């Protein structure tokens, strides 16, 4: 029986049914009927979105008393001098800077704000999740041009019981479309043609081998 549920990181509810369906199929076949994951994807428009657990450095020009580094709370909000409970989650650094300027503009004349993200976690919707027979199942912050090989290095490779070539990617950014990937060929044989580019929100599912 697959034991990923005891090791996996949280997966958003909206993908859970699709995830269970993939695991059921992947556990029975190493080929399946899913198309192979594309080696390259269109990520030129990617921009980092702030999420809970991130740390942002707020710089207010000519106002050092208002400049500081603050965490984004689990509810997605932050607080700083003259700023109370501002929503940061779901915005990029430029959008957050403009919102802070609007708030500070009530107290400071023509504030100029720069926001720099210094610690990266990102929102759940953009994290890469690895479940199943990886050495270290986990959630990873997405990075632009991140590949399947990058994810597997972070996850410590496959367990001895993994069906690497039966692995699947559940792509939430494409309405939960499913792709097959050849992790066994990539990791054990060094076949770089099996490497694929990841997308924000991907769930990598590695089943257990049945023989």
The total number of structural domains in the chain stands at 2
Mark which of 98, 119, 140 sits at the end of a domain: 119
Q: Are residues 201 and 130 in the same domain?
A: yes
Residue of higher predicted confidence among 41 and 72: 72
Structural domain including 113 reads: 55-119
* CATH number of the domain to which 138 belongs: 3.10.560.10
Looking at the predicted structure, is the pLDDT value of residue 18 above 80? no
pLDDT per position as a tens digit, 164-196: 999 999 999 999 999 999 999 999 999 999 999
Report pTM: 0.78
Q: What pLDDT score was predicted for residue 76?
A: 96
Spatial CB neighbours of 12, under 8 Å, sequence gap ≥ 6: 124, 125, 172
């Amino acid at each position: 029986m697959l034991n990923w549920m005891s090791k996996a990181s949280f997966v958003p509810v909206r993908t859970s049914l699709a995830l269970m369906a993939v695991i059921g199929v992947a556990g029975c076949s190493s080929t399946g009927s899913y198309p192979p994951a594309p080696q390259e994807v269109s990520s030129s428009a990617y921009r980092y979105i702030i999420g809970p657990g991130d740390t942002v450095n707020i710089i207010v020009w000519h106002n050092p008393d208002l400049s500081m580094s603050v965490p984004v709370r689990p509810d997605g909000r932050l607080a700083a001098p003259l700023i109370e409970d501002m929503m940061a989650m779901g915005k990029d650094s430029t959008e957050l800077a403009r919102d802070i300027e609007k708030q500070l503009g009530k107290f400071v004349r023509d504030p100029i704000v720069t926001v720099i993200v210094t610690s990266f976690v990102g929102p759940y919707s953009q994290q890469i999740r690895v479940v199943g027979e990886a050495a270290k199942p986990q959630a990873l912050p997405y990075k632009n041009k991140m590949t399947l090989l990058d994810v597997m290095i972070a996850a410590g490779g496959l367990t001895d019981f993994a069906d690497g070539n039966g692995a699947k990617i559940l792509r939430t950014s494409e309405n939960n479309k499913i792709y097959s990937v050849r992790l066994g060929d990539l990791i054990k044989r060094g076949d770089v043609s099996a490497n694929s580019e990841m997308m924000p929100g991907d769930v990598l599912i590695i089943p257990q081998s049945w023989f």
